[in-house]
Amino acid sequence: MRKLLSLLSFTLLLASCASPKSSGNDEEILESLISSFWEREIKTGRSYSYQNTAFPDHLYKGTKEEFVEDSIYFSGLLSKLKSLDRNQLKNKTLTDYDLLEWTATIRLEAAQYYPITFPNVTPYSRTLEGPDFILNHVSFKSEADLAKYIALLKEYVHKQKADEEHLQVMASDGILLPQPEIALVIEQLNGMDREATSHPYYVSAGRLLQIDSVKGIAFQQEVEYILNEEIIPQYSMLSEYLGGEYLQQAPEAVGLGQYPRGKDYYRHLVRWHTTTTLTPEAIHELGKEQVALISRKLDSIRVAVGFKGPMTDFYQFLRTDKRFLANNPDEVGDLLRSHIGRMDKVLSNVISLRPKATGDVRRLPLALEPAMTYGYYQTPSSADTVGIYYYNGSKLDQRSLVAAASIAFHEIEPGHHWQFSLQVENDSLPDYRKNSFINAFTEGWGEYASNLGMELGLYEDPYDYSGRLLMDMFLSVRLVVDTGMNYLGWTREQATTYMSQYLIESPTQISTETLRYSCDIQAQALGYKIGSLKLTALRKKYQLALGNRFDVIKFHDTILRQGSLPLEVLEKTLDRAFGLEPIQ
């Protein structure tokens, strides 16, 4: 009977995704497809809205059933899109169509890789792709919201159990997390064994101001009970499982290439995170070329400042000289803010748009610092209207701040905070584009934005310029080692040696980075450099095509008005905006 019901559900899903007949207005049909797609994303917790903190119906758990649902849904969505006459769509709607088509294509492709997709238990994956944002940003406006939150917490318990079950199934197929990554995961899990009231999912009184105080206290007690009795013990159970026989069976080697279909999966991730058709081999060679180019530039600075000694000694100087080290975590934040202030005075020379939301920097939660080399940016939301770059404030004697200006421009102004905030605040975009996150665009813009400091005179100090080049080197080295470890058979030791040769990061930082690339969010690190190179190439393209009519402010403003797009979709959109023929 259960099999019959499953078959019936499958048939009904197929029927609901059947391609529509070619009747009606294609613009209206596309608008309906976009609306239903985004409604599904929000209700099922697959995505979230930065500006709307309404509760989803469910949390996304990454189960096999959800992967099957995605396969059916996106196959049907692509059929519906192909039934539309793209040539009859308006210019503005073409970008909506192209983004939805790219999303459906890549998500359909992703659905086949469930057997080799690790659950979100690794440090970066859990922080960036897990349910934390939803649970930390939903708003409590009524008693009904209290019940919804309790339901989501209970679903999170199911997700915890599903994650462990998926790890067990993968282990039975010989697919286990590498031993070095397991140590990081266990460390983070053990860090979650804390008082319930300090857990990220505990709801403070400040989030319950619209709720009756008596009912709010009772709600907090129920949340505390679920955390103490179910969620926190589940962390301990997973830690024990990973630290037992699982650890003994786990490989010492890193990288996706060691697993069945691992190289196929990695090629898919490269397409997802770069939005290009570049092969891992091509990206690897591109990275080597960029490393050689940047090395020559850094050596010229060494000569220009009169440094006596080889590049290895110059690197050691940039890594350890006291002028580049902070005495305490607050000094890190103060330095980042000072560079943001410098950029703010001159940014209008290249970008006219300014977001309404303010940006700031704060220290990372202590539990995350051991596994993160630098930090991450958190977008504004209706629950927290400030965009925050969370920096790592630990082991300051090993964290040179020579690249602080480059980081500040990448993360806040005019990088992530500028781009994200302008996207969310742009009411001319449909909701799914307001909340779009395309890695190559988002991280590519951050790196391109950081480089704008060059033409704005913000890297005139040779050491600030060294920091800009070292950040560029850091992102270029990623192209080499990410592809090396996941596709070309590099060992972690090879990657560590290569990174140590070209980077000033400490052994601790390099250690966490090699695990990030090979065991956590593989191929994600490729998007930074690939995206920035594409944006630079597009600028040159329109400068050449438009000549004296090229306006750099219009170029940047036009990009920022689009929201996050796959690189080819961005180019088609810009071609239309600047009067060039779209790519066929």
pLDDT above 70 covers a percentage of the chain that reads 95
pLDDT confidence of residue 513: 94
pLDDT confidence of residue 369: 86
Judged against a pLDDT cut of 80, whether residue 381 lies above it is answered with no
24: confidence class by pLDDT, cuts 50, 70, 90:
low
11: confidence class by pLDDT, cuts 50, 70, 90:
very low
Mean pLDDT along residues 400-415: 96
What's the whole-number average pLDDT of the chain?
A: 92
10: confidence class by pLDDT, cuts 50, 70, 90:
very low
pLDDT confidence of residue 12: 38
Judged against a pLDDT cut of 80, whether residue 4 lies above it is answered with no
Cα-flanking dihedrals φ and ψ of residue 332, to 5°? -60, -50
pLDDT confidence of residue 22: 44
Judged against a pLDDT cut of 90, whether residue 101 lies above it is answered with yes
Mean pLDDT along residues 332-361: 97
pLDDT confidence of residue 584: 44
Question: What one-character DSSP code corresponds to residue 122?
Answer: S
Judged against a pLDDT cut of 70, whether residue 565 lies above it is answered with yes
84: confidence class by pLDDT, cuts 50, 70, 90:
very high
Amino acid at 376: Y
Confirm if 362 and 376 have CB atoms less than 8 A apart: no
Cα-flanking dihedrals φ and ψ of residue 284, to 5°? -60, -50
Judged against a pLDDT cut of 70, whether residue 166 lies above it is answered with yes
pLDDT in tens, 43-80: 999 998 877 777 899 999 999 999 999 999 999 999 99
Cβ atoms within 10 Å, residue 518: 26
pLDDT confidence of residue 3: 37
pLDDT confidence of residue 364: 92
pLDDT confidence of residue 255: 98
382: confidence class by pLDDT, cuts 50, 70, 90:
low
Does residue 539 or residue 54 have the better pLDDT? 539
Mean pLDDT along residues 250-264: 98
* DSSP one-letter string for 1-69: -HHHHHHHHHHHHHHHTSPPPS-S-HHHHHHHHHHHHHHHHHHTTSS--SS--PPPSS-----HHHHHH
383: confidence class by pLDDT, cuts 50, 70, 90:
low
pLDDT confidence of residue 332: 96
Distance CA 400, CA 322 (A): 9
pLDDT confidence of residue 539: 98
Distance CA 365, CA 375 (A): 10
Considering only CA atoms, which of 516, 536, 479 is closest in space to residue 282? 479
Which of 50-54, 508-512, 519-523 is the most confident on average? 519-523
Mean pLDDT along residues 344-358: 97
385: confidence class by pLDDT, cuts 50, 70, 90:
confident
pLDDT confidence of residue 28: 95
Q: Residue 464, Cα to own-chain centre: how many angstroms?
A: 26
Considering only CA atoms, which of 320, 360, 358 is closest in space to residue 336? 360
Cis-peptide into 260, omega within 30 deg: no
130: confidence class by pLDDT, cuts 50, 70, 90:
confident
pLDDT above 90 covers a percentage of the chain that reads 85
Mean pLDDT along residues 298-327: 96
pLDDT in tens, 471-489: 999 999 999 999 999 999 9
Mean pLDDT along residues 223-240: 97
380: confidence class by pLDDT, cuts 50, 70, 90:
confident
Burial class (CB in 10 A: 0-12, 13-18, 19+), 543: middle
Distance CA 374, CA 391 (A): 6
Question: What one-character DSSP code corresponds to residue 114?
Answer: G
